[in-house]
């Protein structure tokens, strides 16, 4: 039996347009919105690249199941607040039209780090990025999120409407400030007056999101049907834990009551975001690269290996926690203990390969900041250096058994080319670290960092990842 809306499940009005409708948004933003119990805040999702989500969701009235995976058993929940899905490449004007509606008061984003078309090392727009170049030349038919936001805001200004709040839900440090800067940079090229209006009237609150959402498998789809009796082509799977910390800065104070579902509204989100990026995301990436190289398919599998569990504990306790200030009313050691339990949840099959994607965009936020802070204090970083070495080995494209790795990264070709052109392993490591768009000028030229990563890479090459994490 296919999912379809009953009369009780209808009546949601569009208040939010979400750019980048992937699994995370449907397992996080949508569930908080569902819990707010206010039908003025229905969500229109926008797929910026492919029609897959629309094709799966439209035949079932945009209903879907969120499956919470617990060690003691799984719990399905029907989600009703998604009211439609647009595919931007098919009809960009339809996307701009809904973003320009008076009822649309918030635009949210989960487009991953690479979707912002910026230089992660500087936080500035990459003006040579093909999407940015296209959107500047074709503002009425944009392809990227920044182009859509700026053109929709231009239309709202022309119509005498207030701007919408732009709420980033991606793992970027100071994400609201970063997106505000990118939007204003782009708008300035189009119209200085528009840029000034956005700066004066717009709101870009920073936010920190947290929930582990593995990619949905065919087995998940079959389990949902068994549990619910409905054929659902687009379920999402998630862990029990969730967190959302948001700066309470919205245009005209218009927002859902997300606090009903446990969202925290704060004056400053940076301490929470800093903690999460460094402790959760940094450790996740560490386990992804080194775990994948060691032959582990998922994070939970990796954590079942005592050598890796001990390594990530050492990474946290000796290298990351000492340089992370605790947010208000937060015990970092308790936070780390909770992370260890979450990573070890056998019901969550979060693939190391999935987390390993787009490392050139993720490392600056997740790991390089910690490395810079330790170097500034002249502190050792053997675990962090091993993680960077693991990433370099991973993006080289060959695993420890000599098999090809399906590397997904915006710089994949460059990363492989510079390694292949190097005369030896040490030179390959130095060539990768020399990519300033990832490591910046400072780390590329810091001999302490470079030498530590070269040494760690040598151990990886000679002993393999599992022996390397033992130390």
Mean pLDDT of 174-181: 96
The CATH architecture to which 270-470 belongs is: Orthogonal Bundle (1.10)
**What pLDDT is recorded for position 8?**
85
270 pLDDT more than 80: yes
**What pLDDT is recorded for position 171?**
87
Residues 6+ apart with CB under 8 A from 403: none
Give the start-to-end residue ranges of the domains of the chain: 7-266, 270-470
Q: What is the pLDDT of residues 83-141, one digit of tens each?
A: 999 999 999 999 999 999 999 999 999 999 899 999 887 889 999 999 999 999 999 99
468 pLDDT more than 80: yes
168 pLDDT more than 80: yes
Q: What is the pLDDT of residues 349-384, one digit of tens each?
A: 899 999 999 999 999 989 999 999 999 999 999 999
DSSP-derived pairing of the beta strands 124-125 and 118-119: antiparallel
pTM: 0.84
**What pLDDT is recorded for position 71?**
87
Q: Which helix (H) or strand (E) holds 373?
A: helix 369-376
Mean pLDDT of 336-352: 94
Instruction: Give percent above pLDDT 70 in the chain.
Output: 100
Q: Which helix (H) or strand (E) holds 156?
A: helix 145-159
Q: What is the pLDDT of residues 149-161, one digit of tens each?
A: 999 999 999 999 9
- Note the CATH number of domain 7-266: 3.40.50.720
Query: C-alpha angle with apex 140: 137 to 141, nearest 5 degrees?
Result: 80
**What pLDDT is recorded for position 21?**
97
**What pLDDT is recorded for position 455?**
98
**What pLDDT is recorded for position 471?**
81
Helical residues (DSSP H) of 9-91, grouped into ranges? 23-27, 29-36, 52-57
């Amino acid at each position: 039996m296919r999912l379809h809306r009953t009369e009780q499940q209808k009546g949601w009005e569009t208040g939010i347009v979400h750019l980048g409708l992937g699994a995370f948004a449907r397992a996080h933003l949508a569930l908080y919105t569902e819990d707010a119990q206010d039908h003025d805040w229905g969500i229109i999702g926008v797929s910026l690249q492919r029609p897959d989500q629309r094709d799966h969701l439209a035949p079932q009235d945009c209903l879907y199941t969120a499956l919470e995976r617990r060690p003691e058993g799984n719990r399905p929940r029907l989600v009703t607040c998604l009211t439609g899905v647009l595919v931007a490449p098919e009809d960009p004007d339809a996307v701009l039209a809904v973003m320009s509606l008076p009822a649309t008061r918030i635009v949210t984003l989960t487009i991953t780090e690479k979707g912002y078309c910026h230089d992660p090392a500087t936080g500035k727009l990459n003006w040579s990025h093909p999407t940015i170049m296209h959107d500047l030349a074709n503002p009425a038919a944009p392809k990227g999120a920044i182009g859509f936001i700026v053109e929709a805001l231009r239309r709202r200004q022309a119509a005498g409407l207030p701007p919408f709040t732009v709420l980033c839900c991606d793992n970027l440090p100071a994400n609201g400030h970063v997106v505000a800067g990118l939007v204003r940079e782009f708008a300035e090229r189009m119209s200085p007056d528009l840029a000034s209006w956005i700066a004066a009237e717009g709101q870009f609150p920073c936010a920190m999101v947290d929930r582990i959402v593995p990619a949905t498998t065919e087995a998940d789809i079959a389990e949902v049907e068994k549990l619910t009796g409905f054929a659902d082509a687009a379920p999402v799977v998630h862990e029990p834990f969730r967190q959302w910390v948001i700066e309470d800065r919205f245009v005209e104070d218009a927002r859902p009551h997300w606090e009903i579902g446990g969202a925290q509204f704060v004056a400053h989100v940076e301490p929470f975001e800093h903690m999460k990026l460094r402790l959760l995301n940094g450790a996740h990436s560490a386990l992804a690269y080194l775990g994948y190289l060691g032959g582990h398919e998922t994070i939970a599998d990796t954590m079942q290996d005592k050598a890796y569990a001990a390594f990530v504990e050492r990474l946290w306790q000796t290298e990351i926690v000492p340089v992370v200030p605790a947010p208000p009313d937060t015990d970092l050691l308790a936070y780390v203990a909770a992370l260890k339990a979450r990573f070890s949840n056998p019901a969550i099959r979060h693939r190391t390969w999935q987390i390993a994607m787009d490392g050139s965009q993720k490392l600056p936020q997740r790991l390089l900041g910690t490395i810079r802070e330790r170097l500034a204090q002249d502190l050792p970083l053997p675990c962090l250096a091993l993680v960077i070495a693991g990433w370099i080995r991973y993006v080289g494209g060959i695993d420890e058994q000599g098999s090809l790795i399906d590397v997904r990264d915006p710089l994949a070709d460059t990363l492989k080319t510079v390694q292949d052109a190097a005369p030896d392993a040490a030179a390959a490591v130095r060539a990768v670290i020399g990519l300033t768009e990832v490591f910046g000028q400072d780390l590329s030229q810091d001999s302490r960092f470079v030498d530590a990563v070269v040494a760690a890479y040598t151990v990886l090459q000679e002993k393999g990842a599992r022996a390397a994490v033992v130390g």
